[in-house]
Amino acid sequence: MSWSVGAGLEGRTVVVTGATGGIGQAVANAFATTGARVVATDLDQVRLDALVAELPGEGHLAMALDLKSFDDQQALIDRAQAEPGGLFVLAHTAALLRRRNSLDDVTEDDWDAQIDTNLKATFFLCRRAANAMKDNAGGRIILFTSQSWMTGGFGGAAVYAASKGGVVSMARGLARTYGPYGITINTVAPGQINTPMLLTDLDPAVYEKMRVETPLGYVGEPEDVAGTVVFLASAHARYITGATINVSGGFLMY
Ligand SMILES: NC(=O)c1ccc[n+]([C@@H]2O[C@H](COP(=O)([O-])OP(=O)(O)OC[C@H]3O[C@@H](n4cnc5c(N)ncnc54)[C@H](O)[C@@H]3O)[C@@H](O)[C@H]2O)c1
């Protein structure tokens, strides 16, 4: 193995979901910098086109779709499979958070929207991706949980936390199932990262408390997470599967 930042990723096809989100943009940029071809997906084609136009390197694609749709999921995997070498990495950052500071305010629609997006869509997307990767003799799946998988969530995020706990458990089962096919599946657990998801409807006092209680002394930036994703996709992480990587500036230690 040669040692480089994105070892094994040069010329590979990488799907990044949630690519116009806070963390997704940084992840797409990081993969493009390694020489990988990025298939960027999110809900809005105009924003995706703008993102892809700015990525370093060539051959990147922008595909707007809703991951809750199984037809859209299949179209995404088929498109990535059509690229040279087929799909090698799924970096799945897309998710939905609806904060409800009183649990009495949680509606059935809040429950369904978060569980359907964060857990149900993730399972079926992973299965599609893994079946494609089997045909390609291996691959890497990087899922996003959250520190809330362990804490239960701050600032009105109990339903979201339940979905993210499910992602950790599910990733372990997927890792066991698809390991024999050369496919690794790991989860990244960010702490507080400055993105629209964190900041929407968050009480500024809660934000400040989190900042003060973070040993590294600041709320993370998307770039603080992107390196971990590239590492997990690279050849350097080839013997890691079923792991949850804590990227929280020390806010939680495990
Ligand atoms: N920001 C944080 O502090 C933080 C902390 C812990 C975990 N996370 C996790 O990191 C990941 C990225 O979060 P972020 O902060 O960048 O969020 P974000 O809200 O900035 O981005 C999420 C993206 O997902 C897309 N998306 C949502 N539903 C979709 C659907 N049905 N189909 C297609 N795209 C859809 C959104 O359009 C958005 O662009 C998420 O999984 C999140 O749960 C974030």
Kindly report the CATH number assigned to the domain that includes residue 59: 3.40.50.720
* pLDDT > 70: percent of the chain: 99
Q: Is the residue at 2 inside a domain?
A: no
Mutate to test the pocket of ligand 1, among 116, 187, 195, 228 (most ligand atoms within 8 A of CB): 195
Give this prediction's pTM.
0.97
Whether pLDDT at 114 is above 60: yes
CA atoms of 15 and 38, how far apart (whole Å): 6
Mutate to test the pocket of ligand 1, among 23, 126, 142, 194 (most ligand atoms within 8 A of CB): 23
**156 CB less than 6 Å from ligand 1?**
no
Residue with tokens 């857990």: 119
Cβ distance 77 to 87 under 8 Å? yes
- For 121, phi and psi rounded to 5 degrees? -60, -35
Q: What is the mean pLDDT of the chain?
A: 96
Half-sphere exposure of 11 (CA within 13 A, CB side): 3
CA atoms of 160 and 116, how far apart (whole Å): 11
CA atoms of 19 and 7, how far apart (whole Å): 22
Q: Is the residue at 61 inside a domain?
A: yes
**144 CB less than 6 Å from ligand 1?**
yes
Q: Is the residue at 6 inside a domain?
A: no
Rounded mean pLDDT of 66-70? 98
Q: Is 100 exposed, middle or buried (0-12, 13-18, 19+ CB in 10 A)?
A: middle
Q: Domain total for the chain?
A: 1
Q: Is the residue at 7 inside a domain?
A: no
Whole-number Å distance, alpha carbon 213 to ligand 1 midpoint, is 23
Rounded mean pLDDT of 234-238? 96
Q: Is the residue at 252 inside a domain?
A: no
Q: Whose CA is nearest to atom 13 of ligand 1?
A: 23
**Domain enclosing residue 213, as ranges:** 13-247
Per-residue pLDDT, 101: 85
Ligand 1 atom at shortest distance from the alpha carbon of 193: 3
Q: Is the residue at 3 inside a domain?
A: no
